[in-house]
Structure 1
Amino acid sequence: MSHSASKGLIHTSSNHSCANTIERLELQITEKQMAVIAKVDHAAAAEKINETLRPTTLLLFGNPQAGTPVMQNSQTAAIDLPQKYLVWEDQQGQTWITHNDPAYIAERHNTEGLDPLLDKVSTALQSIATAAGE
């Protein structure tokens, strides 16, 4: 399944179930000195209204050392922060980890002069997703 048409999103496949992938992400996040801020289980919410939804969980996490400079540069970036991973299962049962591309967020909010920071954030986000999915 291709997700290339999703502007500003980066998709990484996982070799694990959604629940296991979330656990692996949380471990990677804390190991990188970041904090998990919230977990939103959309499938559980659907169950409460007697509907079904394939596993779909949003994990919010971050580090003020990375996010604060972005918001200082463009305060509207706060709508896209903290960082998020969406862990979800497609129709074929494949688990995916999706996150926002930091370059897309920077472009969306017209930030300037943050390329070195954004490169670090981009590398960290992808390395966490890759490690959690392996």
Structure 2
Amino acid sequence: MIIKRLAIIFFIFVHLPVSADSGLVQIQSPHSVPDTVEKLKQVLDEKGMTLFAHVPHSQSANEVGISLRPTELLIFGNPKVGSILMECQQTTAIDLPQKALVMQNSDNEVWVIYNDPAYIADRHHIEGKVAKCDATLEKVSKALNAIVTSAVNRK
């Protein structure tokens, strides 16, 4: 199980401009925050994912007099997949549905950040429970990678 997770992590690091820290996968976008969010929404729609919410954090902060660099959150998922993870370990529901944070940092770089499924597995002690759990985690990891990569690479 650990070897499978390491293989997934290796795949992500070899194929993408990614950094990971504290269970987060970060992929840089060449687009603005609003453009990246729209591209993510398009990909999610094309993949048949459910978009549960779009939280415009910087807009909300501005409305209460707080200046925040562009920061938006998309909450999305596929109940057919997420429910399997909850069946594997019910506490994963605290981390589901999936979230993608799109933000501009202090260097004016735009990043898409999401929770690493391996982190979720470790956090909720999913390893070795049932083979379908590991297969589902691998599927989620590949799907998140594909969604974000497709969005940031769109023209």
Normalised TM-score (structure 2): 0.82
User: Who is 1:84 aligned against?
Assistant: 99
User: Who is 1:30 aligned against?
Assistant: 45
Q: Secondary structure at the match of 1:76?
A: helix
Which has the larger helix fraction?
Answer: 2
Partners of 2:36 and 2:108 in 1: CA distance: 13
Matched to 1:85, the amino acid is A
- In the alignment, structure 1 segments of 5+ residues that lack a partner are none
What RMSD in Å do the two structures reach over aligned CA positions? 1.3
- In the alignment, structure 2 segments of 5+ residues that lack a partner are 1-17
User: Who is 1:64 aligned against?
Assistant: 79
User: Who is 1:94 aligned against?
Assistant: 109
Give yes or no for contact 2:19–2:27 (8 Å, CA) kept in 1.
no
Partners of 1:98 and 1:110 in 2: CA distance: 22
User: Matched residue pairs, number?
Assistant: 132
User: Who is 2:12 aligned against?
Assistant: none
Q: Secondary structure at the match of 1:57?
A: strand
User: Who is 1:125 aligned against?
Assistant: 144
Moved over 4 A (4+): none
Give yes or no for contact 2:73–2:101 (8 Å, CA) kept in 1.
yes
Say which is worse superposed, 41-50 or 9-18, in terms of deviation: 41-50
User: RCO greater where, 1 or 2, for CA within 8 Å and sep 6 or more?
Assistant: 1
Partners of 1:63 and 1:128 in 2: CA distance: 13
Q: Secondary structure at the match of 1:117?
A: helix
Partners of 2:19 and 2:144 in 1: CA distance: 18
Aligned sequence identity (%): 44
Whether 2:119 is the aligned partner of 1:104: answer yes
Question: Which of these residues, 32, 53, 57, is aligned with residue 17 of structure 1?
Answer: 32
